Amino acid sequence: MSQRPAVITCHDCGLLQKISHLPEDGTVTCSRCDATLRKIERIKPADNIEHLLALVITALVIFIIANSFPVIDLQVAGHEVETSLYGIIHYLLTRSDYFLGGLVFLTALGAPLIQLTGLLYILLPLNSNVIPPFAAQVYRVVRLITQWSMLEVLMLGLIVSLVKLSAMGTLIPSVALFAFLALIFFIADILSNINSEIIWSKISTIKQDPRLKDSERPENITNCHNCHLLCKIPEHHEGRCPRCDSPLHKRKPDSMARCTAYLIAAVVLYIPANLLPVMVVSSLGHSEGETIMGGIIYLGTSGDMSLAIIVFVASMVVPSIKLIILTLLLITTYFKSQWNMKDRTRLYRLTELIGRWSMVDIFVTASMAALIQIQGLAVIEVGGGAIAFGAVVVLTILAAMSFDPRLIWDNLEKKNE
Ligand SMILES: [Zn+2]
Ligand SMILES: [Zn+2]
């Protein structure tokens, strides 16, 4: 085994650093910004693949159960109404709500399914020491789609819906809800057990970029953002990672311009998202719109204060904080500020972490509207506010994805040169 020190560029601040001693078990953090550079676990590679495969197969079985039964089952005035996750998506699409339908499909069904089937495609042959075709490309997709899988947020949305619906009728316990809960734990277990270094080393024979020379200048070296292979950045054109085919660039292209564009669009849509009703409830000839804040007040006054606070944080605090942090990062980076670079990088990591929770209101609205379509008694429709709010969530996620935190540190490097 090579005893050469590992060379890693930090994905958050860009610093090239040599790690002379890799611990057998534990985490290696960046010496400048505290980002996690490597997670190393003392697991035998063979055990890891076999263990992961067992988890993935179990999760897929639970996934099928969760999607075969209704997630909400309610008895209202002699009517029994129920909806599955597929039913929620189907309802949105038949109402021509393609954006919300597509968003719920991606985050609650498509992303987890691609994640699990992609892993099955790689791990099943790998367990018998066979590398499946296009394994690197499939694993790249699995890693990219993971951030769009939001089952834990769906779960919170379903719980909020159940609390709201309990005032309308009698809830019947649903198998699918428990299956989704189990699925969340299994996927979290898979993600914490997955050792990407081991998987990359098993599916690809490339251990180092062949274009990389020992004398390479540090500014021409970067780790592939997807598979972490140390690569040479071509000087005059955009290169690709020899292992996973991801585009290679020193900094995300047009990061500031793209982040600003997404952010401005999100700020503009944030206004109708909060002013327009997210859902319209029609009952006995009387229609009433409910805004996001109205829904939170309803939850609070109907006795569920803790849930009201959770939804308030997810739907009001998180999007506002995200918009403020991204604006602050853009302005300070534009003016080449050297103020608190470490804390600003931490703020960036926070925006990446919390953004998904704002989806909770979309899941609440979609599931309640799909369920309550009892003509002559009560009908719930998705309001314009929900579409604007969904767009805000997607735009802020895209804004955070396009911002390159290494730009925060670039001025320091220029000053020190
Ligand atoms: Zn760093
Ligand atoms: Zn790569």
Task: Answer yes or no: do 202 and 269 share one domain.
Answer: no
Contact between residue 261 and residue 229 where contact means Cβ atoms under 8 Å apart: no
Q: Which residues contact 293 (CB under 8 A, 6 or more apart)?
A: 274, 316
Residues with CB under 5 A from ligand 2 (ion): 224, 226-227, 229, 241, 243-244, 246
Task: Give the pLDDT confidence score for residue 413 in this predicted structure.
Answer: 64
Task: Give the pLDDT confidence score for residue 149 in this predicted structure.
Answer: 94
Residue that the structure tokens 């989806």 belong to: 359
What residue numbers bound the domain in which 308 lies? 251-417
Residue at 227 is within a domain: no
Q: Which of 197-201, 237-241, 265-269, 401-405 has the highest mean pLDDT?
A: 265-269
Q: What is the mean pLDDT of residues 292-310?
A: 89
Residue 46 pLDDT level (bands cut at 50, 70, 90) = low
Rounded CA-CA distance 52/241 in Å is 26
Distance 231 CA to ligand 2 centre (A): 8
Residue at 8 is within a domain: no
Task: Answer yes or no: do 265 and 241 share one domain.
Answer: no
Residue that the structure tokens 């075969």 belong to: 68
Helices (H) and strands (E) in the chain, counts: 16, 15
Q: Give the closest ligand to the alpha carbon of residue 30.
A: 1
Measure Cα distances from 305 to 294, 298, 360, 385, 392 in Å. Answer: 14, 10, 17, 23, 26
Task: Give the pLDDT confidence score for residue 41 in this predicted structure.
Answer: 63
Residue that the structure tokens 């694993």 belong to: 139
Task: Report residue 138: phi and psi, to 5°.
Answer: -65, -40
Q: Give the closest ligand to the alpha carbon of residue 230.
A: 2
Q: Give the closest ligand to the alpha carbon of residue 8.
A: 1
Distance 195 CA to ligand 2 centre (A): 15
* 40/253: higher pLDDT: 253
Task: Give the pLDDT confidence score for residue 3 in this predicted structure.
Answer: 46
> How many residues are recorded in the chain?
417
Task: Answer yes or no: do 320 and 243 share one domain.
Answer: no
Task: Answer yes or no: do 261 and 361 share one domain.
Answer: yes
Residue at 230 is within a domain: no
Residue at 263 is within a domain: yes
Distance 324 CA to ligand 1 centre (A): 23
pLDDT digits (tens, 9 = 90+) for 349-404: 999 888 889 999 999 999 999 998 888 788 999 999 999 999 999 999 999 999 99
* 416/16: higher pLDDT: 16
Q: What is the ipTM of this complex?
A: 0.91
Residue 122 pLDDT level (bands cut at 50, 70, 90) = very high
Angle in degrees, CA 372, 373, 379, rounded to 5: 80
Rounded CA-CA distance 150/353 in Å is 12
Task: Give the pLDDT confidence score for residue 416 in this predicted structure.
Answer: 59
Rounded CA-CA distance 369/363 in Å is 10
Distance 14 CA to ligand 1 centre (A): 6
Residue at 265 is within a domain: yes
Residue at 4 is within a domain: no
Rounded CA-CA distance 417/407 in Å is 16
Distance 150 CA to ligand 1 centre (A): 27
Residue that the structure tokens 């791990």 belong to: 123
Number of domains in the chain: 2
pLDDT at 137 over 70: yes
Q: Give the closest ligand to the alpha carbon of residue 245.
A: 2
Task: Answer yes or no: do 177 and 264 share one domain.
Answer: no
Task: Answer yes or no: do 303 and 375 share one domain.
Answer: yes
Distance 232 CA to ligand 2 centre (A): 11
Task: Answer yes or no: do 296 and 398 share one domain.
Answer: yes
Residue that the structure tokens 């409830």 belong to: 281
* Closest to 344 in 3D by CA, of 357, 355, 334: 334
Distance 409 CA to ligand 1 centre (A): 9
* 24/279: higher pLDDT: 279
pLDDT digits (tens, 9 = 90+) for 217-250: 777 888 888 888 888 887 766 788 888 888 888 8
Max CA separation in the chain (angstroms):
78
Distance 6 CA to ligand 2 centre (A): 17
Rounded CA-CA distance 323/351 in Å is 9
Residue at 194 is within a domain: yes
Q: What is the mean pLDDT of residues 86-105?
A: 94
Residue that the structure tokens 């699995």 belong to: 142
Rounded CA-CA distance 225/342 in Å is 20
Cβ atoms within 10 Å, residue 106: 18
Residue at 5 is within a domain: no
* Domain CATH number, residue 310: 1.20.140
Task: Answer yes or no: do 255 and 198 share one domain.
Answer: no
Q: Which residues pair with 28 in a beta bridge?
A: 38
Of 200, 225, 248, which residue is a domain's last?
Answer: 248
What does pLDDT average to over the chain? 88
Q: Give the closest ligand to the alpha carbon of residue 409.
A: 1
Distance 11 CA to ligand 1 centre (A): 7
Rounded CA-CA distance 316/357 in Å is 11
Rounded CA-CA distance 354/334 in Å is 24
Rounded CA-CA distance 10/16 in Å is 6
Task: Answer yes or no: do 111 and 242 share one domain.
Answer: yes
Task: Give the pLDDT confidence score for residue 2 in this predicted structure.
Answer: 43
Q: What is the mean pLDDT of residues 336-347?
A: 91
Task: Answer yes or no: do 94 and 161 share one domain.
Answer: yes
* 247/182: higher pLDDT: 182
Rounded CA-CA distance 120/60 in Å is 9
Distance 246 CA to ligand 2 centre (A): 5
Task: Answer yes or no: do 113 and 188 share one domain.
Answer: yes
Cβ atoms within 10 Å, residue 171: 16
Residues with CB under 5 A from ligand 1 (ion): 10, 12-13, 30, 32-33, 35
Task: Answer yes or no: do 158 and 299 share one domain.
Answer: no
Q: Give the closest ligand to the alpha carbon of residue 11.
A: 1
Task: Give the pLDDT confidence score for residue 7 in this predicted structure.
Answer: 79
Rounded CA-CA distance 130/61 in Å is 24
